[in-house]
Amino acid sequence: MNAKVVWSWRSATLAIVTLFLVTRLYNLTLLPLSGGEATPLTWALQAQQARDWSDWLAVVREAAQPLHSWLLAPVISLAPDRVLAARLLAVASGAVMLALVVALTRRLFGRAAACAAALVYVCAPLTLLHDRLALPAALLAALSLLVLWRLLVWCEQPTTWRTGALGLALGLALLTSLQALVLLFVVPGVVALWQPAALRRWWSLANAYLLAGLLFSVVFTDPLAGIVAAPASGPVAAAAVAPDWITNVRSLAAAAWTYLTWPFVVLLGGALVAVGAAELRHRLTTEHTEWSDAGNRVTRANTGSAWRGGGVCLLWSTGSAVGVLINEPVPTAADLVFVVVPAFPLVGWGLVQLIAAARRLPALVSRAEPIAVNAVAQNTVAGIVLGACIAPAVVWDRSLLTDPTRVAWHDCPGFSDRARYVEGRQSGYGLGEIVDRLRATAERQRVVVFTADTAGLPRDGVRVLLGDGQNPVLAPVPPGMPVAERLAQRGGRAYQAASTGATLFYLLDDDHGGAGDQEFRQANPGARVIQRVGKPGNASHRLVLYELPWQPPGDDRWLDPAPHFGERIALAGYALPATTYRAGDAVRFTLFWEALAMPANSYTVFTHIVADDPTQKIGQRDQLPVAGKHPTSTWRRGDFITDSYAVPIDPNTRPGSYHVIVGLYRFETLERLPITLDGEPVGGDFYALGKIVVAAR
């Protein structure tokens, strides 16, 4: 290859890399955080701030695959802006995907097609959008391409190293999404299509599957809590909606038309027809003629024919589509990335063929001989054709990079991306303004922020943007439950903060044009609106921030300093509503425990009512915390446990003054935990809550 051609390829590579970086990094946070990004980010935060290993498996307990959140955990600690850091990981996934598209296309169709496929990848609105969002879609698509690339390499020479690399890629894909499960069934078909002789090494392929299975098994193992009890998986739920597959296929096809733009879709269809015609021509003629363009052969003896390359792309994309339909009752544009990107090598090949045909057009029309004139005309026509192919994508991309509210989003029933990213419940428009106000308030005083306990926004978005810590305290509430009812349960740090004078807020996503606001006010009398932010283009969707009045019960006593039982459990406070009883009554009180670290054993709580001599008991109840529902062996650092008791007084008790004492002991040995206060022993193994009076009948 001469120096001119080498520099031409280098210039094209540099231009594509530059275009990729500019389009992916420019205004990266212009589109606000969406609900689909916020939820995996909260899982990543839990892993980043893990109190023990089980926090790393929080995503698994939500019936999702953990790799994306595990990768996000260290990334979001690198920058103060968590959303920016998470999206930079998406850009990195996109860069890997671009490199794999180039590598695959070059192996299947040659260098010219690889350059064209890279251009298609950089310009396509589908990849531009999802390379800029903190969703697992880009990571899954990149790993899918990695599996395909390693598979083609393995076909050429199934060595032990290449088998291990293939198994590792498969395992990582499975740890990203269950949609990748279908690839296990597609792999043998690709091998049979690309290099049938490699199927003789089926045992080597089986070893790759075994390694992938071992990696995947991590999602079923909790080193501290045993087997993870996750909800039913996606495929089981999706089986019931199989009749809707036709509707879902139509939705995906319509989304492809929007997010790939029509020229790329036409190119894909044209490329499929062209490779089919090429194979037919090969079979009908006795002498195979290789097509070439600018010294680049489209088919080569060592990589197979264009028909095989097209078949590999089509089979991989079809398998990916089946995986989406099985696992997702309602697919989204993010799922489309997994399906479509494996077909980009074929689109790139089609673009090369189209440009080659365009370059021949001037010679056919003018029949002119001068080479220089023909070269200029050929390049001009080729440039016009290329511009026409990418122009719709460039228009879409420009809108996304400058004003996402004006983007021509794909919208259809159940598949509205305008609602998802701009004006619906899962859109983060306005959330940043409200979080800024909450953060400013939290700098002056302690605050509690309540949200509806549903995944996405605003619950997860507030946690991502506002952060964690003692102030502010974030508290989810079941949808429709009044905040006062939630506080009456006396659970968690939100109650502790509220009962010590914290200001209470509630963030509502009102998506009913005011109906949600009215319902909330009826359920929470006295709620005062302090900020209202509408979402672009839809007046019925808005975020509303309320300040809530609440009167603490008045019988709580918070201990400062808190007594420590052993080294891992503290008594943060207690509530003893009444102090006067009669013999036979039950003394009711509540203990507020805090786990300083994960307790080493399961401890029993003893609650005694005693005279001045602790051995003279007039009432006793020993039980595991929360009536056995929350034993200390399940506590983790930072847990706040509300533990209520009703201790009956002996009916024969004489009137007088008595003490309520509590402590912890190990049931197997009856050994009590020692108590310290400010690091100093208190000289006993129980803590006295207070005095009660048993009155005469």
Show the tokens assigned to 8: 């031409």
33-60: average pLDDT: 84
Indicate whether 175 belongs to any domain.
yes
Cα(272)–Cα(315) distance, integer angstroms = 12
Residue 266 lies in a domain: yes
Same domain, 633 and 566: yes
With residue 103 as reference, give the H or E element that holds it: helix 82-109
- The pTM assigned to this predicted structure is 0.86
The domain that holds 646 is classified in CATH as 2.60.40.3880
**Same domain, residue pair 568 and 539:** no
CB 619 within 8 A of CB 649: yes
In a domain, 410, yes or no: no
Q: Which residues of 614-647 are buried (b: 16+ CB within 10 A; e: fewer)?
A: eeeebbeeeebbeeeebbbebbeeebbbbbebeb
Overall average pLDDT of the 478-487 stretch: 93
- Confidence bin at 405 (pLDDT 50/70/90): very high
Per-residue pLDDT tens over the stretch 195-221 = 998 988 889 999 999 999 998 887 665
Domain-located, residue 414: no
Mutual orientation of helices 82-109 and 3-25 as an angle, nearest 10°? 150
pLDDT at 226: 38
Q: Beta 569-575 vs 680-681: how paired, if at all?
A: unpaired
Give pLDDT tens digits for 437-461: 999 999 889 999 999 999 899 999 9
Please give the tally of structural domains in the chain.
3
Domain of 583, in residue numbers: 556-695
Q: What is the mean pLDDT of residues 418-429?
A: 90
The per-residue pLDDT for 128 is 96
Judgement on whether residues 541 and 560 belong to the same structural domain of the protein: no
Q: Are 29 and 87 in contact (CB under 8 A)?
A: yes
Q: Are residues 496 and 381 in the same domain?
A: no
- 338 and 444 assigned to the same domain: no
SS3 at position 3: helix
Among the ranges 99-108, 537-546, 612-621, which has the highest mean pLDDT value?
A: 99-108
> Could you say which of 516, 548, 580 is where a domain stops?
548
Q: How confident is the model at residue 234 (pLDDT cuts 50, 70, 90)?
A: very low
For residue 231, what is the DSSP state? P
| pLDDT tens per residue across span 172-199 | 999 999 899 999 999 999 999 999 989 8
Quick one: which of 65, 73, 130 has its CA closest to 98?
A: 130
3-state secondary structure 504-568: EEEEEEECCCCHHHHHHHHHCCCCEEEEEEEECCEEEEEEEEEEECCCCCCCEEECCCCCEECCC
Domain-located, residue 412: no
The yes-or-no verdict on residue 103 having pLDDT over 70 is yes
**Quick one: pLDDT at residue 413?**
67
Domain's final residue, options 400, 433, 448: 400
518, 628: one domain? no
* More confident: 192 or 303: 192
Give CA separation, 303 vs 88, 110, 111, 306, in Å.
Answer: 35, 9, 13, 9
Which domain-ending residue is among 517, 548, 579? 548
> For residue 408, is it within any domain?
no
Q: What is the DSSP string of 139-184?
A: HHHHHHHHHHHHHHHHHH---HHHHHHHHHHHHHHHHH-GGGGGHH
pLDDT confidence band for 63 (50 / 70 / 90): low
Residue 405, domain member (yes or no): no
Which tokens sit at 414? Answer: 């159940």
- pLDDT average, residue stretch 590-611: 93
Read off the pLDDT of each residue in 318-346 and give the average, rounded to a whole number: 90
pLDDT, position 298: 36
List the Cα angle 655/656/658 in 5-degree steps. 125
Mean pLDDT, rounded, for 320-340 = 88
- pLDDT-based confidence at 294, cuts 50/70/90? very low
430 within 8 A of 533, measured Cβ to Cβ: yes
In the predicted structure, residue 361 carries a pLDDT above the cut 80 = no
pLDDT of 305 above 70: no
Is residue 573 assigned to a domain? yes
Rounded to 5 degrees, φ, ψ at 650 are -55, 125
Q: Are residues 109 and 244 in the same domain?
A: yes
pLDDT tens profile 129-155: 999 999 999 999 999 999 999 999 999
Structure confidence at residue 293 (pLDDT): 41
Please indicate, yes or no, whether residues 194 and 328 belong to a single structural domain of this protein: yes
Average pLDDT, the chain: 86
Q: Which two tokens stand for residue 471?
A: 């102030």
| 57 and 40 housed in the same domain | yes
The contacts of residue 526 (CB under 8 Å, 6+ apart) are 548, 549
How confident is residue 363, by pLDDT bands cut at 50, 70 and 90? low
Residue 288: which pLDDT band, with cuts at 50, 70 and 90?
Answer: very low
Same domain, 457 and 475: yes
Question: To the nearest whole percent, how much of the chain has pLDDT over 90?
Answer: 57
Helix (H, G, I), strand (E, B) or coil at 433: helix
pLDDT tens profile 236-282: 444 444 557 788 888 888 889 999 998 898 888 888 887 776 666 66
- Whether residue 385 has pLDDT greater than 60: yes
Buried b / exposed e over 391-404, threshold 16 CB at 10 Å, is: ebbeebbeebbeeb
- 216 & 144 share domain: yes
**For 564-576, what is the mean pLDDT?**
94
**pLDDT surpasses 50 at 231:** no
Mean pLDDT of 656-681: 93
Residues 544 and 588 in one domain: no
Average pLDDT over residues 65-78: 90
